[in-house]
Structure 1
Amino acid sequence: MLRFLTDLFKPEAAKPAPSTSETSMNFDLAEVPPFLTGLANNPRFGLPGALVTQIAENLSDLPVDQSSRWQIEGSFDGKPALIEIQAFMDDVDAPDMAFFGSAEVVAEIDRELIAFDQAREG
């Protein structure tokens, strides 16, 4: 009975906002690790340390016309955030990467994508 009462008043862990938005960009395979490293270094995000390695290794084995998807539990501005990343291999070593998350998370990822695209063009 005491445990029931204790559980009743225990605060619930904060849950990440649902995925409501999406942004995407085509990459050359070699560009994916630098982009994800930049994203992981963004101070607004708290992402798992193995993120870049895990995705890069899986992408190198992804056949053309196949896709893979990852759910990343991290944080954004200090709050829990769920980010989903989907890669579709459009061509040999050319994945189309889509990022799903809350509107705020996707807006920040989109800013990173734009900055990355401008840097590779310039």
Structure 2
Amino acid sequence: MLKFVADLFKPTDPKAPPITSETGMTFDSIEVAPFLTRLMNNPRFGLPISTAGMVADQLSDIALDQTRRWTIQGAFDGTMTTIDIEAFMDAINAPEITFYGTEAVVAEIDRELIAFDEAQET
């Protein structure tokens, strides 16, 4: 009984808000690491810096018409968040990368996607 009462007042680990939104873009495989590095360097995010290399390194293992998904734990504006990154190998060396997260997280990723795409065009 005492343990039950003590557990009632025990602090719980904060949980990331649920994933509610998505955004994405088709990349050339060689563009994935630079984009993810740009995203990791965004001051609003606190994400593991190893994410860019990990995802980029594993792209070559994805067969045509296959999908791989990674779940990344980190922070957004100082609050815990979860971002899922999904790669669908739509064409050889041209994965379609989709990002899943909260509305605010996805909106910021979308801004980064647009800026990255515009920079590639110049």
TM-score normalised by the shorter chain: which range applies?
A: over 0.9
| TM-fit CA distance, 1:54 | 1.1
Query: 1:101 is matched with which residue?
Result: 101
Query: 2:74 is matched with which residue?
Result: 74
Question: TM-score, with normalisation over the residues of structure 2?
Answer: 0.95
Specify every segment of 5 or more residues in structure 1 that has no aligned partner in the other structure, as ranges: none
| TM-fit CA distance, 1:62 | 1.1
CA contact (8 A) 2:37 2:49 kept: no
Q: In angstroms, what is the RMSD of aligned CA positions?
A: 1.1
Query: 2:51 is matched with which residue?
Result: 51
Percent sequence identity over matched residues? Answer: 57
Q: How many residues align?
A: 122
Distance across 1 between alignment mates of 2:119 and 2:88: 23
Question: TM-score, with normalisation over the residues of structure 1?
Answer: 0.95
Distance across 2 between alignment mates of 1:36 and 1:3: 45
SS in 1 for 2:109: helix
Moved over 6 A (4+): none
Output one character per residue of 1:10-63: Cα deviation in whole Å (capped at 9) or x when no partner.
Answer: 222211111110001010000000000000001111111321111011102211
Distance across 2 between alignment mates of 1:39 and 1:53: 12
